[in-house]
Amino acid sequence: MKRFLFTALFLVTLSASYAQSTTPDWTNQYWTARWILHPTAPARQYGIYHFRKAIDLVQKPGRFVVHVSADNRYRLFVNGKSVAIGPARSDTQNWNYETIDLAPYLQAGRNVLAAQVWYMGEGAPFAQMSYQLGFLVQGNSEAEKLVNTDASWKIFHNPAYSPVKNDIPKLKTYIVAGDGDRVDAAQYPWGWEQPNFDDKAWVAAKPLGFPTKPRGLGTDGNWGLVPRAIPMMEESTVRLASVRRTENGKMDAAFLQGKSPVTVPANTKAVFLFDQGHLTNAYPELTVSQGKGATITLGYAEALVDAKNKKGNRNDIEGRTLLGFEDQFLPDGSSKRTFRPLWFRTYRYLQVTVETKGEPLVLEDLAGQFTGYPFQQKAQFATSTSMLGTSMPGTSMPGDTTLKAIWEVGWRTARLCAGETYYDCPYYEQLQYTGDTRIQSLISLYVTGDDRLMRKAILDYDHSRFNDGLTQSRYPSADFQVIPTFSLFWVCMVHDYWMHRQDDAFVKSMLPGILSVLNWHEQRIAKTGLNGPLEWWNFVDWSAWKNAKDEIAGGVPAGARKGGSSILSLQQAYTYFRAGDLLAHYGQNQLAEHYRELGRRLNKAVFAQCWDAGRGLFADTPDKTSFSQHANILAVLTDAVPVAQQAGLVQKTIADTSLTQATFYFKFYLFEALKKTGLGDQFIAQLKPWRDMLAMGLTTFAENPEPTRSDCHAWSASPLYEFMSTTCGIRPAEPGFKSVRIEPFMADLTTVDGKMPHPLGEIAVQFQKTPTGGLTGTVTLPNNLTGTLRWKGKSLPLKSGKQPVSL
């Protein structure tokens, strides 16, 4: 099976042999190609367009590099073959273009470049920012300039498309992933991308009047072009696993393999419910014949729902219906017509409803093309005899049959929440929220070693800053939203990157934005020493917050709007200490100490006003009417409570069920507190909520405990990071991961094996507990990496290479 849709070479920079003086630097000069669009169709209203240009080549080129972009999006074909989808999502002042070598698809003689470009208008997803309809191709040098977009390109406004509204009223929940597609096959220009298609009736494209320019040039604001900094998305074929239910039709497993077409008789309504077996992101491709006048509706869902709109066990279908995102296809009666939506769909369950008129319809095939960021799983984690990873499958350790499944389901969750940006959830929003992305980025670093999407996310948030000085909570996003706590976590995310990667120029470039975020919060420290009142949406967790009735937005503890929240004050301190590390590293020692001192003052104010000596816990506000795990977790992480008392406080925080409980998202910070206090052995026991999700038939980890909206939320994949950083105990000991600290917490496990990627190579550990409570095994570090192994108060220096250890 071909793993990637795009065998086209994706170039971040041109090779040295090609970057001659005759090749322009397109990041630093005006482009000679023009943005083009339809000459008469509205440029800011819904529309799907096709572009074509034929060129003649004397011989097949060895290299033919072009730069391509569009608004909203494009799919590029060369001689009938799909070679690129883009542009990577961004904002208009950082508008991505793809650099592609088309040579493998070109031939001597006539060649045709064709592109489908769509502009969704009011039906665009919130994650899609936009200026107006436009398409752009720029040849890289004199040899390729004949493909430059101008009036020589032809264009067709496709009337076959109309939107299917999949909005909040229809699905009865918050969904902003955009409209579905309705395609009328009778109006579709079939074969438009093929070289022999007759485009004589198409009109000449209209070039825009203003010049095409990279970011930082020109007088107009339209698109500031920047080169794409991430690879093309992966695409591979996925097949549905089973037919779960049929109405007025028969279908067997052979259809799912594309081997047995199914005929729906004339004047019939037939329904076919398919099960992928697990959640996926894919472009469904449905091929049909005949069926003129029929209507085919494709519905997609994470799970079916009962009469009360509850999901229950995700494997159950009895008494349940599919309520979900939909597309429609209207066949024209011809043979082998294939419907594929413009954007991917997220589904475990896919339901096909066919309503025929006077002609039967033949369902020829239905498959999916999986898509996602091309992460490669490089980490492995094993307990006893099982390796939790792709290369060493096996059975789980005696006494716990769930760890392997938690790894696999967590990795699927992380993968489905990563595309051209990180997604909070692929089904409902596809938005890159900072609170989610911080956790996703650490998973990416530890499991794959690929930091490019993390780096892009950090830049995206920096680009999102507005006049208050804060970052937006999610970006790119056409809908403005601000969560000040997420601005703080953006600062922490930069600190995470700094600890794991040596990239000083990049990190240093974030300092102005960091300082603006820190200053906004500093200006809101009240005379009491706590922060607030606070504007915007000060989300902390989707917990059942007590005495927070003035916080109508949800997810917000008491004291945000009126001031005096211990949680928000402690998160501010948590961030100030990390910012102090960054500022000191880059020579801004006075500012570093200023923010460290502010952090200490916030800690003292929280302790003085919110510590309840009778309960031995921090309250959420000085009036001490509500208590949460969150306040006490952050008190430990910031040292607001003396070090000697921290382990006891964490134990009490876990044991006291009267506290407002952290949901899946904030348990990441509970796990960090366990590590910090030497209680990492309790991490495995804290995985009960993840085991419960597995028992409920989830194939990805959910946004919240039941009942939940989203079945796939990457913040709930945090156990993958913890398996490596807590159970195996692998963490950077200094910035840039220049050395490593390994402190495993094995709980009741007798052996632990783990591998993870490091910029210098691979870190591998293999540990066994001795009957007397000691530790033996081996540690392997890449060349030029040293570190320290710690175990129950003892330590051992580590050197490069493989070495036996015993403590």
Assign 3-class secondary structure to 724-778. HHHHCCEEECCHHHCEEEECCCCCCCCEEEEEEEECCEEEEEEEEECCCCCEEEE
Average pLDDT over residues 586-605: 98
Cis check for the bond before 72: say yes or no (omega within 30 of 0): yes
**Cis, bond preceding 476 (omega within 30 deg of 0):** yes
Same fold, 9-162+188-227 and 234-372: yes
Among 38-52, 391-405, 428-442, 554-568, which is the least confidently predicted range?
A: 391-405
Cα 417 from Cα 199, distance rounded (Å): 40
For 118, list phi and psi in degrees, rounded to 5.
-130, 145
End-to-end CA distance of the chain: 47
Contact yes or no for 649/635 (Cβ under 8 A)? yes
pLDDT at 550: 65
Residue identified by tokens 């102005």 is 512
Size of the chain, expressed as the number of residues it contains: 807
pLDDT (tens digit, 9 = 90+) per residue, 615-670?
Answer: 999 999 999 999 999 999 999 999 999 999 999 999 999 999 999 999 999 999 99
Confidence of residue 774 (pLDDT cuts 50, 70, 90): very high
pLDDT for the residue 800: 98
In whole angstroms, what is the distance from residue 435 CA to residue 754 CA? 27
Which three-class secondary structure string do you get for 408-433? HHHHHHHHHCECCCECCCCCCCCCCE
* pLDDT for the residue numbered 548: 76
Q: Are strands 325-330 and 180-184 parallel, antiparallel or unpaired?
A: parallel
User: What integer pLDDT is reported at residue 221 of this predicted model?
Assistant: 72
Residue 523's alpha-carbon distances to 35, 517, 520, 527, 763, in angstroms, are 45, 10, 5, 11, 43
pLDDT tens-digit series, residues 188-205: 999 999 999 999 999 999
User: Torsion over CA of 539, 543, 549 and 550, rounded to 10 degrees?
Assistant: 0
Residue 519 has pLDDT above 90, yes or no: yes
* pLDDT of 3 over the 90 cut: no
Residue type, 499: M
Cβ atoms 314, 697 nearer than 8 A: yes
Q: Is the pLDDT of residue 18 over 80?
A: no
Average pLDDT over residues 553-568: 93
What pLDDT does 776 receive? 97
The pLDDT of residue 547: 81
Three-class SS state of 75:
strand
Instruction: State the SS3 of 484-519.
Output: HHHHHHHHHHHHHHHHHCCCHHHHHHCHHHHHHHHH
- Answer yes or no: are the C-beta atoms of 645 and 681 closer than 8 Å: no
For the domain spanning 9-162+188-227, the CATH number is: 2.60.120.260
CA dist 392 and 385 (Å) reads 10
HEC-encoded secondary structure of 695-713: HCCCCCCCCCCCCCCCCCC
Task: Tell me the average pLDDT of the chain.
Answer: 94
pTM: 0.94
Helix (H, G, I), strand (E, B) or coil at 128: coil
Structure tokens at 704: 């919240």
Q: 73-121, pLDDT tens digit by residue? A: 999 999 999 999 999 999 999 999 999 999 999 999 999 999 999 999 9
Tokens 């070693």 map to which residue? 449
- Report the C-alpha gap between 455 and 373 in whole angstroms: 14
Instruction: Kindly state the percentage of the chain with pLDDT values over 70.
Output: 95
**For the chain, percent of residues with pLDDT exceeding 90:** 91
The answer to whether residue 40 scores a pLDDT higher than 80 is yes
| Residue 12 pLDDT grade (very low, low, confident, very high; cuts 50, 70, 90) | very low
Answer for the pair 649, 685: CB distance below 8 angstroms, yes or no.
no
The 10 Å Cβ neighbour count of residue 762 is 15
Q: How confident is the model at residue 252 (pLDDT cuts 50, 70, 90)?
A: confident
Query: Three-state SS for 567?
Result: helix
Q: Which residues contact 288 (CB under 8 A, 6 or more apart)?
A: 296, 329, 331, 336, 337, 339, 361, 362, 363, 364
Domain chopping of the chain, boundaries: 9-162+188-227, 234-372
Using pLDDT thresholds of 50, 70 and 90, give the confidence band for residue 46.
very high
Other C-beta atoms within 10 Å of 624: how many?
17
Q: What CATH superfamily classification does 234-372 receive?
A: Galactose-binding domain-like (2.60.120.260)
Q: Mean pLDDT check: name the lowest of 179-183, 542-546, 692-696.
A: 542-546
